[in-house]
Amino acid sequence: MTGEAHVRIGFIPLVDSAALLIATEKGFARAEGLDVELIREVSWANVRDKLAIGRFDAAHLLAPMAVASTLGLGHVRVPLVAPINLAMNGNAITVSTALHAELSAEDAVAHPAQTARALAKLVARRRAEGREPLTFGMTFPFSTHNYQLRYWMAEGGIDPDEDLRLIVLPPSYMVENLARGQLDGFCVGAPWSSLAVDAGIGVILHFGCEIFARAPEKVLALRESFAGDDPNLVAALVRALEKGAAFVDDPPNRDEVSQILSRPEYVGVDAEFIRRVLTGHLRINGRDEREDVDYLLIGRDGAMRPEPRQAEWIYAQMLRWGQTRYARTMADQAKRVLRADLFDAVLGEAHVEHEISAFAGPSFDGQSYEDYLAGFVIGRRV
């Protein structure tokens, strides 16, 4: 890379784009010789398509979408690589106040296994009464949001493909559709669940990190061919984003970060909502709050390192829900999306691979795909 490189990067208005937005806004990208042009998009499909055809050089992207694009699932095959994670965790399962009241009547308490069983009772009752099935929103079929909803529901005995409706909506549309009664609940990234709570129309039932402890959420994705053509540019992006994440994670900077992200051209919501997300201290209904320091991981605790095991876990979720078939070649392709080698070559940090764990069910780490999927009652097999 010689001179200043102009880089067009697409993003969705979510708090988990913070490292990217701050790296650009605070001059960390410019210091690395990058002239970053940020383009705010509405839907993940738009981001994926513009990245695929070269309208974007890089993108804030759903980690499962990067794997799906590489495997040619749901769209034309465009191999992508992710040299750095932008976020782990950060989602929440939110339900309407009406559905929450019904779940409360079933004596459901905070643990996901109990709320899932309570939801299963409601689903069965609605079917017996001839009522319409419940409708939940998620942001894309190849997303952690989809897998979190499905995993949670299935642990209660619900088959999400048979017992209710799952529909795709852009993140910023979730609250509006919940208010209109077109959704009974959704799983979405921050800050949109907080807006539903503040509007008095939703209750946060579970943080995403209560379903999966360290879910690979967003990555910086580039076309494999583009990344291969200019490794120095990739290295500059990794360095700039690491500095952006460090700035976001430093507590004295939270007010400034929240104000920057609140701008209309970025996330476009009140800074207080963003600050709550960054601290992991959220209102879950009109009177109660819940705190979890792991609600959203941007840079700390090794969150930025893209581990191939994370891509294997994503592929396992795709297999479980019938989004693809097992093939050794596809499994190998999936692993090559999250490029720890590119990250390590730039930052050279010591690392420890973290276990990907869930609130219930079999552990993925150390198991074959076949053995892992055999541990579930609901879902597909290899």
Residue 92, classed as helix, strand or coil, is: strand
Distances (CA, A) of 113 to 32, 119, 145, 285, 375: 47, 10, 17, 20, 16
Q: Where in the chain is the domain with CATH 3.40.190.10?
A: 5-88+215-279+296-374, 91-211
Find the radius of gyration of the CA atoms of the chain: 20
- The residue among 221, 193, 223 whose CA lies nearest residue 15 is 193
Query: Shortest CA distance to 362 belongs to which of 308, 316, 297?
Result: 316
Give the side-chain half-sphere CA count within 13 A for 147. Answer: 25
Burial degree of 347 (CB within 10 A; 0-12, 13-18, 19+)? middle
Residue 182's closest CA among 231, 237, 239, 134?
Answer: 134
> Does the pLDDT of residue 349 top 90, yes or no?
no
Average pLDDT on 145-153 reads 98
Give 204's strand partners: 94
* Average pLDDT of the segment spanning 248-269: 98
Which of 291-317 are b and which e, b meaning 16 or more Cβ less than 10 Å from the residue's Cβ?
eeebbbbbbeebbbbbbbbbbbbbbbb
CA distances from 145 to 151, 186, 316, 346 (A): 10, 9, 15, 30
Strands (E), the chain: 5-11, 34-40, 58-62, 80-89, 91-96, 135-138, 165-168, 185-189, 202-207, 216-223, 281-283, 289-291, 296-297
CATH of 91-211, one of 3.40.190.10, 3.40.50.1820, 3.65.10.10, 1.10.10.10: 3.40.190.10
Could you give phi then psi for residue 38, rounded to 5 degrees?
A: -90, 130
For residue 49, pLDDT over 80 is answered with yes
264-310: pLDDT as tens digits? 999 999 999 999 999 999 999 988 999 999 999 999 999 999 999 99
Cα separation of the two ends of the chain: 44
Give the span between the Cα atoms of 203 and 283, in whole angstroms. Answer: 9
Higher pLDDT, 9 or 1: 9
Contacts of 287 (CB under 8 A, 6+ apart): none
Q: Count of CB atoms within 10 A of residue 22's CB?
A: 27
Integer Cα distance of 302 and 162 in angstroms? 38
**DSSP assignment, residue 81?**
E
Q: According to the model, what pLDDT value does residue 354 have?
A: 78
Tens of pLDDT, residues 205-225? 999 999 999 989 999 999 999
Collapsing DSSP states into helix, strand and coil, what is residue 185? strand
Q: Running DSSP on this structure, what letter comes out for residue 21? A: H
Task: State pLDDT tens for residues 163-221.
Answer: 999 999 999 999 999 999 999 999 999 999 999 999 999 999 999 999 999 989 999 99
Q: Check residue 257 and give its pLDDT.
A: 98
**What's the confidence (pLDDT) of residue 107?**
65
Give the up-direction half-sphere exposure of residue 56: CA atoms within 13 A in the CB hemisphere: 24
Q: Which fold has domain 5-88+215-279+296-374?
A: D-Maltodextrin-Binding Protein; domain 2 (3.40.190)
* Tokens describing residue 209: 């990190």
Asked, as a colleague might, if the bond just before 112 is cis with ω within 30 of 0, I would say no
Percent above pLDDT 70 for the chain: 97
The pLDDT of residue 366 is: 77
Binning pLDDT at 50, 70 and 90, where does residue 1 land? Answer: low
